[in-house]
């Protein structure tokens, strides 16, 4: 089904076309852009509510600024759909997040208008500042604008960027898109601070007039612009605490203004473009604006999947038989079970309570489960602090987000040998979110740290058993449990929990000549391949290793003594990961075998469905079977 843009939007192939329009036409452009996003996402999927909330801002920015010469840096990228449609990608926007299609996030290789690749939050201010400082050095009259959500402002990197911007004397604008949401509702003192600004009648009445009044003062030899600026700052500070946070960092604060008033946005941006130096514009928006259901339930409509745009029905697959749960839901239910029996258990997540399913515990035990905002470093060290007092903390962070807290894992947890449990959700290839979100590296970056256990369950029962094992008093180590996005393999998943000896593998099947050593969920791919190989007369052994660290050396001695051909399979990078650990063991003990490592290749893997990416990266069931056949081709020939 072809989806057509509105009559004005259909004529906009670049911001240059947008600039040809009169201001009186911008409201219609916004209406058509909003409708086009609704039409496309309802049929093809993708992130939804965030981009609806910044339609007017997207139009105003490209209308006022000379993009791409002027640099727009979008934070995270959930909000950049309107930007993409206005910058030459309207007609192929239906390929968004699809295999070999447009990225769901800004991407430098995709368009000159995408000035900085994003996926993780809170990078925009630092990146835009770097661009502004470079422009100043090159004596270019180039504007740099960072568009950052209030949820992203909670991260330390955003404050580091603002702290430097205030003294860098570079011409940049920070636009604070304040909708009180990230994916879930925002938390913390910053949210309350911004709310104070929003509802302060004294300050809001005054702020609209102060620059007009100062502009009429007799600036000259006895009253300089520097004096006017100091007077403005003093009066603002006297009237309200509202501007102190940003202006104490030497950022000129403007706002808050209505982010859905396109005329006000254009006028304000035109004025700010003329003011040099670092400044911040506070814009109030509604996530999901223009689609009533998304406005009412912003978390649900962050990325709803396919839906009927008229009725709002979100399409769900229907099955005749019970289906396996998502791994995240097994985590969410299991931590509650464990916490009901162990009053030392706490749950912590950085801004992903719904995505990790920790919200289940937050609802049932609000005094023992916490969303700390987009603050991965804080989440890890907070967990470490609680662990020093005897608490058993399950710190749930997406695998790719854990990269941001690596120093804390090393210094605050591992060196001190604190038994924090790191549940790394979205491990491996995550699908349509692409390279910024793939959890490709955690096996490699965790297993090189002393004093740490690195594990991966093959199914839901194993996840429950690893969670149970990790919280036992006998475990004295930091404990990593990594598991993928999406469904497991066990419809009847709520099995009794039992302790797993740390570092102990399990032999699933004996075999002849060749053995498959799998880690985590890809063990199911291996099991499927083994079933399919029966028709070829091949009989591989299969070991679910469970642990990348410590390795089960007793089992590995058995494997290398018996089998001359070995395949390792993992949902992680082949460089330095589980397969590398097996090669290290082989070399250390002077074994000789033909070893094939299967996993995520040493390159950036783009977006697509998990099934497409497993196939591309050549470690799905068919690929494993092909490698077995290749390694055993002499036997197949003899049998033939």
Q: Give residue-wise pLDDT tens across range 433-469.
A: 999 999 999 999 999 999 999 999 999 999 999 999 9
Longest dimension (CA), the chain: 101
Cβ partners under 8 Å of residue 317, min gap 6: none
Query: For residue 188, what pLDDT band results from cuts at 50, 70 and 90?
Result: low
The answer on whether 6 is annotated among ligand-binding residues is no
Can you list the alpha helix ranges (DSSP code H) found in 405-541? 406-408, 442-447, 460-470, 523-533
H or E segment and range at residue 600 = strand 594-600
Sheet holding 144-149, edge to edge: 71-74, 144-149, 172-178, 279-284, 252-258
Cβ partners under 8 Å of residue 282, min gap 6: 176, 178, 194, 197, 253, 254, 255, 256, 257
C-alpha to C-alpha distance for 424 and 276, rounded to whole angstroms: 44
DSSP-based three-state secondary structure for 310? coil
Q: Which of 143, 236, 252, 404 is catalytic?
A: 404
For the chain, give the mean pLDDT: 90
Lowest mean pLDDT among 27-36, 144-153, 237-246, 511-520: 237-246
What's the whole-number mean pLDDT along residues 139-146? 96
Strands (E) in 519-593, as ranges, are: 541-544, 547-549, 565-573
pLDDT digits (tens, 9 = 90+) for 253-283: 998 899 999 999 999 999 999 999 999 999 9
CA–CA distances in Å: residue 162 to residues 76, 174, 197, 376, 539? 17, 9, 18, 19, 61
pLDDT at residue 489 greater than cutoff 60: yes
**Residues forming a β-bridge with 252:** 279
pLDDT at residue 242 greater than cutoff 90: no
b (16+ CB within 10 A) / e for 321-340: eeebbbbbbbbbbbbbebbe
What DSSP designation does 108 have? Answer: T
Strands (E) in 71-164, as ranges, are: 71-74, 144-149
The answer on whether 584 is annotated among ligand-binding residues is no
Angle (deg, nearest 10), helices 460-470 and 327-341: 40
Q: Give the model's pLDDT for residue 159.
A: 92
Whether residue 32 lies in the annotated active site? no
C-alpha to C-alpha distance for 613 and 595, rounded to whole angstroms: 23
The answer on whether 470 is annotated among ligand-binding residues is no
DSSP-based three-state secondary structure for 365? coil
The answer on whether 229 is annotated among ligand-binding residues is no
Q: Which of 191, 207, 287, 392 is catalytic?
A: 287
The answer on whether 433 is annotated among ligand-binding residues is no
Please check whether residue 115 is in contact with residue 132, taking contact to mean a CB–CB distance below 8 angstroms: no
Q: Give the model's pLDDT for residue 583.
A: 98
DSSP-based three-state secondary structure for 482? strand
The answer on whether 539 is annotated among ligand-binding residues is no
DSSP-based three-state secondary structure for 415? coil
Please check whether residue 262 is in contact with residue 27, taking contact to mean a CB–CB distance below 8 angstroms: yes
The answer on whether 82 is annotated among ligand-binding residues is no
Q: Which of 32, 34, 97, 376 is catalytic?
A: 376
Cβ partners under 8 Å of residue 625, min gap 6: 529, 532, 533
pLDDT digits (tens, 9 = 90+) for 196-217: 655 554 444 445 455 455 445 5
Residue for token pair 């509202």: 242
Structure token pair of residue 180: 């009180």
Structure token pair of residue 22: 């009169």
Whether residue 499 lies in the annotated active site? no
Q: Are strands 453-455 and 547-549 parallel, antiparallel or unpaired?
A: antiparallel
pLDDT at residue 232 greater than cutoff 60: no
pLDDT digits (tens, 9 = 90+) for 357-414: 999 999 999 999 999 999 999 999 999 999 999 999 999 999 999 999 999 999 999 9
Q: Are strands 279-284 and 345-349 parallel, antiparallel or unpaired?
A: unpaired
The answer on whether 226 is annotated among ligand-binding residues is no
Cβ partners under 8 Å of residue 558, min gap 6: none
The answer on whether 152 is annotated among ligand-binding residues is yes
Whether residue 506 lies in the annotated active site? no
Peptide bond into 300 cis (omega under 30): no
Structure token pair of residue 220: 């000259």
What's the whole-number mean pLDDT along residues 12-22? 97
CA–CA distances in Å: residue 63 to residues 12, 23, 79, 270? 12, 9, 17, 10
């Amino acid at each position: 089904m072809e989806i057509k843009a509105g009559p004005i939007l259909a004529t906009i192939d670049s911001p240059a076309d947008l600039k040809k329009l009169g201001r009186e036409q911008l409201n219609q452009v916004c209406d058509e852009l909003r409708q086009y996003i609704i039409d496309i996402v309802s049929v093809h999927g993708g992130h939804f509510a965030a981009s609806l909330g910044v339609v007017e801002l997207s139009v105003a920015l490209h209308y006022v600024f000379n993009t791409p010469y002027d640099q727009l840096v979008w934070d995270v990228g959930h909000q950049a759909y309107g930007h993409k449609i206005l910058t030459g990608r309207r007609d192929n926007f239906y390929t968004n997040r699809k295999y070999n299609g447009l990225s769901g996030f800004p991407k430098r290789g995709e368009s000159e208008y995408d000035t900085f690749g994003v996926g993780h939050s809170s990078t925009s201010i630092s990146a835009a500042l770097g661009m502004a400082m470079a422009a100043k050095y090159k004596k270019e009259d180039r504007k740099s604008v960072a568009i950052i959500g209030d949820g992203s402002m909670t991260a330390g990197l955003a404050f580091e960027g603002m702290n430097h911007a205030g003294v860098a004397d570079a011409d940049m604008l920070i636009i604070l898109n304040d909708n009180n949401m990230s994916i879930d509702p925002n938390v913390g003192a910053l949210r309350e601070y911004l709310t104070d600004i929003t509802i302060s009648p004294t300050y809001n009445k005054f702020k609209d007039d102060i620059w007009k009044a100062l502009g009429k003062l007799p600036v000259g030899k006895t009253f300089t612009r520097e004096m006017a600026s100091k007077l403005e700052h003093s009066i603002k500070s006297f009237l309200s605490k509202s501007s102190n946070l940003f202006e104490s960092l030497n950022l000129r604060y403007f706002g808050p203004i209505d982010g859905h008033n396109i005329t006000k946005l254009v006028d304000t941006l035109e004025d700010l473009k003329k003011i040099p130096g670092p400044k911040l514009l506070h814009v109030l928006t509604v996530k999901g604006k223009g689609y009533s259901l998304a406005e009412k339930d912003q978390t649900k409509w962050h990325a709803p999947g396919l839906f009927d745009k008229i009725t709002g029905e979100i399409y769900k697959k229907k099955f005749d038989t019970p289906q396996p749960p998502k791994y995240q839901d097994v985590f969410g239910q299991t931590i509650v079970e464990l916490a009901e029996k162990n009053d030392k258990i706490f749950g912590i997540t950085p801004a992903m309570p719904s995505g990790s399913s920790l919200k289940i515990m937050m609802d049932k035990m609000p005094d023992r489960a916490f969303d700390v905002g987009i603050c991965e470093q804080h989440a890890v060290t907070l967990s470490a602090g609680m662990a020093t007092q005897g608490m058993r903390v399950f710190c749930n962070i997406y695998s790719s987000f854990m990269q941001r807290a690596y120093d804390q894992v090393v210094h605050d947890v591992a060196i001190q040998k604190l038994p924090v449990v790191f549940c790394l959700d979205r491990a491996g290839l995550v699908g349509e979110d692409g390279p910024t979100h793939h959890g490709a590296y955690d096996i490699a970056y965790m297993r090189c740290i002393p004093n740490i256990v690195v594990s991966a369950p093959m199914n839901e029962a194993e996840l429950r058993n690893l969670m149970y094992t990790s919280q036992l008093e006998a475990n004295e180590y930091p404990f990593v449990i990594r598991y993928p996005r999406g469904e497991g393999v066990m419809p009847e998943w709520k099995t009794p929990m039992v302790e797993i000896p740390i570092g102990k593998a399990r032999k699933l099947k004996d075999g002849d000549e060749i053995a498959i050593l799998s880690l985590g969920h890809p063990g199911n791919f291996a099991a499927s391949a083994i079933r399919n190989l029966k028709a070829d007369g091949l009989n591989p052994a299969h070991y679910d290793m469970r642990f990348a660290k410590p390795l089960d050396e007793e089992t590995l001695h058995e494997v290398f003594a018996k089998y001359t051909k070995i395949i390792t399979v993992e949902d992680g990078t082949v460089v330095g990961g589980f397969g590398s650990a097996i090669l290290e063991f082989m070399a250390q003990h002077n074994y000789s075998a033909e070893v094939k490592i299967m996993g995520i290749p040493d390159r950036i893997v783009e977006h697509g469905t998990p099934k497409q990416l497993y196939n591309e990266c050549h470690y799905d069931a068919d690929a494993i079977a092909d490698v077995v056949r290749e390694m055993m081709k002499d036997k197949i020939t003899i049998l033939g």
